[in-house]
Amino acid sequence: MKLRQATEEYINDPEVELAPRTAESYLHHCNRWERLTDDPSLDDINKAAILEFYQGCKSSGLAATTFQSSWRNIRAILRHAKQKGWISEVPVIRTGKVRKRRPVVPPWNVLDTMYTNVSRTIWPVLDYCSTEAFWQSWLAVSYWTGLRLGDMKELRSSDFNAAEGTLIAMANKTSKEHIYPVPEWLGRHIDAVSGSGDDRLFSVPRWSDNRIRRELARMCSGVDLRRPVSPQQIRRLSINTWTSVNPDAGKMIHGTGLGVLDFYLDPLMLLESCVPKMPVPEQMKTEATFVAG
């Protein structure tokens, strides 16, 4: 048996219950293993094989943290294989501690500048809203919800309940359902992008991640930053800002609070109590320029 078969057995095991995104990551690390090693059988995965994988990662220019991430996933597969009786031992290797770079959270006022700079964007060209309105709405929804890039692209008009003032989203990575209060100003942003034929709020190709990052970079033009703001940095800004208002609210936005904590707390009630204190750029609330495409 090779690592590939063991990985597929693991992610399809009903007792494991992995989220789809997590299952994909295991296959991703398996692909890396096959690419950078001789792909030995499970019985032959020993310290020497792991060191070969490490050297392969290093020679390919991958960071030490990337190797450690892959090794954690592979080790989980090997532990599962041992439980199943497919191998007798899981190799132990000391990888040492790697200093991780501190995540960059953009200054809050950058969001205001980006909102002003939507006039610099050139994509997407849609028939139901202007490019500027698309990005105004993207920034507003992304900041308010803290959703990951992939989840932003899957948001649908039907997820928005105008009567109740709520927006529901399913996190693909964790399979957890998020519910957000929608103030009047955010509802206007959602309405502005609700005319797509496939019900998605942000109707762009699912493979368009680089295009999205490129347009965000256009909005950062002229801003004194080490690098343009990315979708992940907007998520960090959102989580940090909600956390500054209420630490439990930040956990709800991040997703870690949607477990034991939300058994005792009502996520919507908690977030609603924070809405008056949540800082939002004034022009995002009052000066949206929703123009037909």
Confidence of residue 287 (pLDDT cuts 50, 70, 90): low
Instruction: Flag the least confident range among 23-27, 34-38, 96-100.
Output: 96-100
* Beta-carbon count within 10 A of 290 CB: 16
256/178 Cα distance (integer angstroms): 11
**In this predicted structure, what is the pLDDT of residue 97?**
65
Peptide bond into 124 cis (omega under 30): yes
Mean pLDDT of 165-183: 94
Mean pLDDT of 202-226: 90
Confidence of residue 260 (pLDDT cuts 50, 70, 90): confident
**In this predicted structure, what is the pLDDT of residue 262?**
73
Domain ranges of the chain: 3-83, 108-286
**In this predicted structure, what is the pLDDT of residue 93?**
83
Q: How many Å is the Cα radius of gyration of the chain?
A: 22
Q: What is the per-residue pLDDT across 73-126, written as a single tens digit (0 to 9) for each? A: 999 999 999 999 999 999 988 766 656 667 789 988 899 999 999 999 999 999
Mean pLDDT of 238-246: 97
**In this predicted structure, what is the pLDDT of residue 109?**
87
**In this predicted structure, what is the pLDDT of residue 95?**
67
**In this predicted structure, what is the pLDDT of residue 291?**
47
**In this predicted structure, what is the pLDDT of residue 279?**
96
Confidence of residue 64 (pLDDT cuts 50, 70, 90): confident
Higher pLDDT, 4 or 63: 4
Has residue 45 got a pLDDT over 90?
Answer: yes
**In this predicted structure, what is the pLDDT of residue 173?**
86
**In this predicted structure, what is the pLDDT of residue 202?**
95
CATH number listed for the domain at residues 108-286: 1.10.443.10
Sheet containing 166-170: which strands, arranged edge to edge? 160-161, 166-170, 177-181
Quote the strand ranges of 136-228, DSSP E: 160-161, 166-170, 177-181
Report the phi/psi class of residue 199: left, alpha or beta, with left for phi > 0 and alpha for psi in -120 to 50.
left
Confidence of residue 183 (pLDDT cuts 50, 70, 90): very high
Q: In Å, what is the CA distance from 192 to each residue of 144, 196, 250?
A: 16, 10, 27
**In this predicted structure, what is the pLDDT of residue 100?**
65
Has residue 224 got a pLDDT over 90?
Answer: no
* Beta-carbon count within 10 A of 36 CB: 20
Mean pLDDT of 196-209: 89
Has residue 238 got a pLDDT over 90?
Answer: yes
**In this predicted structure, what is the pLDDT of residue 290?**
52
